[in-house]
């Protein structure tokens, strides 16, 4: 959520920001509701002030003057009631529209409609070539008996899977390495809920727009998170933090759930786009300082790149255009990892900064050095997500005999195993 004052002062800029991000929101309708709401609130305040003043005088009056004052008090009470009713009717409409207003993108984000306008920043690592016909990750996994798609579908429907044996171990090894790297960098490890109240999804910007992509528990007005960013960012909801404690740096490993409602027929093969996965997520709660947020954004991006380099995977970093940004992001970098079977670099990480957007919705504040109340800035980034990254790990480390080499950094988490081989 952005400050309504900014929308009042420059509605044209807000309309442009919405158009740049491809979000449809009626700014004129919002401003009309805002004007009516402010008018009703002012009328309510004026009526209550007049009521208080009249109430103090009534006890000093007698006869006709007192009767007239009582009659006037009744009129003021009716005015206050009418204004209060209008406030109660307008506030939900105002909030509904405010929740749809996107945060304007920073100048560093290129203007564009979709991913075709994203800008590559750098490539790291060499793309491996094979002297044999390489298999895709499913063929590799089935031959090694470490991936079972059919039974995953049997249990839970399409876009589900089962990892077994060394496949499950590799999955856990990746996550554990990521957690250890982040803890070593001073990030505080957290275990957080993955089933949260709808208000928390709204506060982090995933509702109402992303509601169709979430698994809902309507009876309890709760939802399963698509990322532990939700719980980590909302951890300090409605709190006033000490400026000396900022920035706060958190990391959590959690299972994540996504319906992929808008992805019918897209990326249906293998482990790329599935309904549940595990992810190590980093979140930073920072002071309200744009320069500092830019530095922290580079820090969390580097954390993810360090993980990719530890896994010895070739990747590129991409600066996303405005049309590919979410509602609250002012800038986002994706890390895309090379996946041979897909013949391209594919998204495995997203590093985002939000400035005040999430903090305003969640009411997370602190007092600055001047004693002024400020909303914090929030940032987040994937450290690693699996099983998607297993696509690259299996395909790029395969051998002609069907075995898969395990990157050196993962071997301590694999009980010293250096290679996954067929049991047959």
CA distance 278 to 171: 9
Q: Known catalytic residue: 347?
A: yes
- Shortest CA distance to 355 belongs to which of 286, 298, 404, 403? 286
CA distances from 81 to 44, 168, 383 (A): 8, 63, 53
- Shortest CA distance to 140 belongs to which of 170, 173, 176? 170
| 3-state SS record for 158-221 | CCCCEECCHHHHHHHHHHHHHHHHHHHCCCEEECCCCEEEHHHHHHCCCCCCCHHHCCEEHHHC
Q: Known catalytic residue: 273?
A: yes
**Cα angle for residues 100, 29, 223 (degrees, 5° grid):** 25
Which of 43, 142, 347, 421 is flagged as catalytic?
Answer: 347
Q: Known catalytic residue: 388?
A: yes
First vs last C-alpha separation in the chain:
57
CB-CB contact of 379 with 390 (8 Å): no
Q: Known catalytic residue: 258?
A: yes
Query: In terms of DSSP bridges, do strands 248-257 and 404-405 run parallel, antiparallel, or are they unpaired?
Result: unpaired
Q: Which residues contact 154 (CB under 8 A, 6 or more apart)?
A: none
Q: Known catalytic residue: 158?
A: no
Record the tokens describing residue 242, joined without a space.
Answer: 């000490």
Which of 38, 86, 259, 273 is flagged as catalytic?
Answer: 273
Which of 228, 231, 350, 352 is flagged as catalytic?
Answer: 350
Which of 228, 231, 254, 258 is flagged as catalytic?
Answer: 258
Which of 229, 353, 388, 395 is flagged as catalytic?
Answer: 388
CB-CB contact of 369 with 248 (8 Å): no
Taking residue 202's Cβ as centre, other Cβ atoms within 10 Å add up to 21
Angle in degrees, 0-180, between the axes of helices 388-396 and 166-184, rounded to the nearest 10: 110
Helix (H) or strand (E) holding 268: none
- Shortest CA distance to 366 belongs to which of 276, 260, 242? 242
Percent helix, percent strand, percent coil in the chain, to nearest 5 = 45, 20, 35
Q: Provide the annotated active-site residues.
A: 258, 273, 347, 350, 388
């Amino acid at each position: 959520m952005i400050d309504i004052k900014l929308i009042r002062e420059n509605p044209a800029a807000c309309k442009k920001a919405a158009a740049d991000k491809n979000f449809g929101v009626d700014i004129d309708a919002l401003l009309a509701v805002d004007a009516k709401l402010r008018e009703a609130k002012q009328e309510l305040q004026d009526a209550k002030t007049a009521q208080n003043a009249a109430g103090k005088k009534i006890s000093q009056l007698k006869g006709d003057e007192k009767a007239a004052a009582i009659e006037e008090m009744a009129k003021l009470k009716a005015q206050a009631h009418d204004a209060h009713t209008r406030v109660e009717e307008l506030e939900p409409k105002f909030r509904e529209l405010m929740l749809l207003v996107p945060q304007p993108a920073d100048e560093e984000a290129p203007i564009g409609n979709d991913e075709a306008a994203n800008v590559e920043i750098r490539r790291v690592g060499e793309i491996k070539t094979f002297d044999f016909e390489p298999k895709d990750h499913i063929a590799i996994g089935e031959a090694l008996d470490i991936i079972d798609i059919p039974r995953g579908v049997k249990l839970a429907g399409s876009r589900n899977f089962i990892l077994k044996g060394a496949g499950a171990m590799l999955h856990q090894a990746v996550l554990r390495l990521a957690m250890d790297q982040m803890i070593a960098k001073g990030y505080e490890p957290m275990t957080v809920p993955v089933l949260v109240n709808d208000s928390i999804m709204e506060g982090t910007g995933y509702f109402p727009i992303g509601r169709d992509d979430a698994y809902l528990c309507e009876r309890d007005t709760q939802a399963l998170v698509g990322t532990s960013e939700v719980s980590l960012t909302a951890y300090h909801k409605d709190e006033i933090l000490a400026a000396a404690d900022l920035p706060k740096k958190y990391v959590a490993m959690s299972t994540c759930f996504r319906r992929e409602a808008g992805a019918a027929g897209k990326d249906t093969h293998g482990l790329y786009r599935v309904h549940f996965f595990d992810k190590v997520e980093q979140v930073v709660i920072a002071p309200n300082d744009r320069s500092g947020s830019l530095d922290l954004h580079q820090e969390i991006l580097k954390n993810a790149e360090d993980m990719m380099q530890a896994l010895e995977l070739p990747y590129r970093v991409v600066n996303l255009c405005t049309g590919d940004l979410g509602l609250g992001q002012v800038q986002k970098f994706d890390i895309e990892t090379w996946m041979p079977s897909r013949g391209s670099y594919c998204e495995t990480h997203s590093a985002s900064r939000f400035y005040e957007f999430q903090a305003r919705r969640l009411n997370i504040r602190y007092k600055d050095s001047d004693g002024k109340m400020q909303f914090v800035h929030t940032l987040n980034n994937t450290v690693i997500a699996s099983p998607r990254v297993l696509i690259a790990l299996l395909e790029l480390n395969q051998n002609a005999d069907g075995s898969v080499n395990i990157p050196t950094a993962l071997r301590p988490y694999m009980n010293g195993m250096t290679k996954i081989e067929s049991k047959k």
